[in-house]
């Protein structure tokens, strides 16, 4: 019997989950055994999973799970260097040359396990079957506006925290922007999930948006228009051939009106990053990284933005992913077979 083990998240500020109780019930009905770890932080209460028929197991007990269990989580595992013998479903961030990702792959190789990277679960056309993109864009645009509002008051943006709903996020942001004229924002990747979420937030806040996608960026740059907007929101994943939207020279460009970059795609350690003025992600307690003083230029690049809205983002993502989870009984085919091939290809380069 296929055995899915839903682990608790161990990363700070991570309350999302990729399976809801109703989805769990569907997996059990399909003949899949499901264990769910207790979690002191998960946004969805454990009682619903218990009522749906899950086997409830101790928090963070996945290293001792049966070897045939498939461990399912979202974000990073503790970076303790231990070999990984299980099959894991998670966001590995390991296929674009990231140093931490290379270490993760080596742990899988040492333990004989396999990574089924959620970012690389794709259909026959290469389109991802499930993504948090919309809520990443929505929350990322909100944090960028919060950073801009702090600048107007000659301050660096303070900590951000989770909110219970979309309405609560908008209400809090309205308070941050109270009394301020709205800036202009340029979104690159505006037609995708991330860009759509970012544009929806901007529209809700009365921010004028310039929407760019493939047609506007196909010439490869340079892109002086980016510097003519107060806020730039990057919603395009780093990948080979990605243009550079913000070169290192942008910080001292005398024509720059840009003061906040929201790198929602957030892949600063990738060789293919399109934003060349910063080199590390930012955190919830310090969301803005000031890369130039006068005039100010701040970058915000939080890599688990949907966690700011953990309930809504979990509900959306779990619904998208469930059809694929129902096919876990055949890991050699479909989305799982393609994800395994990706793992094998990148592991072979170590």
Q: List the catalytic residues.
A: 75, 93
Q: Distance between CA 332 and CA 96 in Å, rounded? A: 24
In terms of Cβ atoms closer than 10 Å to its own Cβ (0-12, 13-18, 19+), residue 138 is: buried
HEC-encoded secondary structure of the chain: CCEEEECCCCCCCCCCCCCCHHHHHHHHHCCCEEEEECCCCCCCCHHHHHHCCCEEECCCCHHHCCCCCEEECCCCCCCCCCCCCCEEEECCCCCCCCHHHHHHHHHHHHHCCEEEEHHHCECCCCCECCCCHHHHHHHHHHHHHHHHHHHHCCCCCCCCCCCCCHHHHHHHHHHHCCCCCCCEEEEECCCCHHHHHHHHHHHHCCCEEEEECHHHHCCCCCCHHHHHCCEEEECCCCCCCCCCCECHHHHHCCCCCCCEEEECCCCCCCCCCCECCCCCCCECCECCEEEECCCCEEEECCCCHHHHCHHHHHHHHHHHHHHHHCCCCCCCCHHHHHHHHHHHHHHCCC
């Amino acid at each position: 019997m296929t055995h899915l083990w839903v682990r608790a998240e161990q990363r700070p500020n991570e309350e999302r989950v990729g399976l809801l109780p109703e989805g769990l019930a569907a997996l059990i009905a399909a003949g899949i055994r499901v264990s769910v770890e207790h979690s002191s932080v998960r946004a969805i209460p454990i009682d619903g999973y218990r009522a749906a028929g899950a086997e409830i197991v101790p928090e963070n007990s996945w290293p001792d799970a049966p070897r045939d269990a498939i461990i399912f989580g979202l974000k990073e595992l503790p970076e303790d260097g231990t070999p990984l013998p299980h099959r894991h479903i998670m966001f590995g961030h390991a296929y674009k040359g990231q140093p931490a990702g290379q270490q993760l792959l080596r742990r899988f190789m040492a333990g004989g396990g396999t990574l089924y990277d959620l970012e690389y679960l794709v259909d026959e056309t290469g389109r991802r079957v499930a993504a948090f993109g919309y809520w990443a864009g929505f929350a990322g645009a909100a944090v960028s506006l919060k950073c801009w509002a702090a600048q107007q008051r000659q301050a660096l943006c303070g900590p951000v925290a989770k909110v219970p709903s979309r309405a609560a996020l908008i209400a809090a942001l309205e308070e941050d922007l109270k009394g301020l004229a709205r800036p202009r924002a340029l979104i690159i990747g505006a037609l995708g999930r991330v860009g759509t979420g970012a544009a929806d937030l901007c529209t809700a806040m009365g921010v004028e948006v310039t929407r760019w996608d493939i047609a506007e960026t196909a010439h490869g740059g340079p892109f002086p228009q980016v510097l003519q907007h107060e806020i730039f929101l990057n919603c395009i994943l780093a990948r080979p051939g990605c243009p550079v939207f913000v070169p290192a020279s942008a910080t001292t460009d005398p024509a720059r009106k840009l003061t906040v970059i929201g790198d929602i795609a957030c892949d600063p350690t990738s060789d293919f990053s399109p934003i060349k003025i910063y080199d590390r992600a930012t955190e919830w307690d310090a969301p803005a990284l000031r890369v130039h003083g006068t005039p100010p230029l701040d970058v915000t690049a939080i890599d688990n933005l949907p966690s700011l809205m953990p309930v809504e983002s979990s509900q959306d993502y779990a619904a998208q992913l469930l059809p694929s989870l129902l096919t876990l009984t055949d890991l050699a085919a479909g989305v799982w077979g393609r994800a395994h091939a990706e793992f094998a290809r990148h592991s072979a380069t170590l």
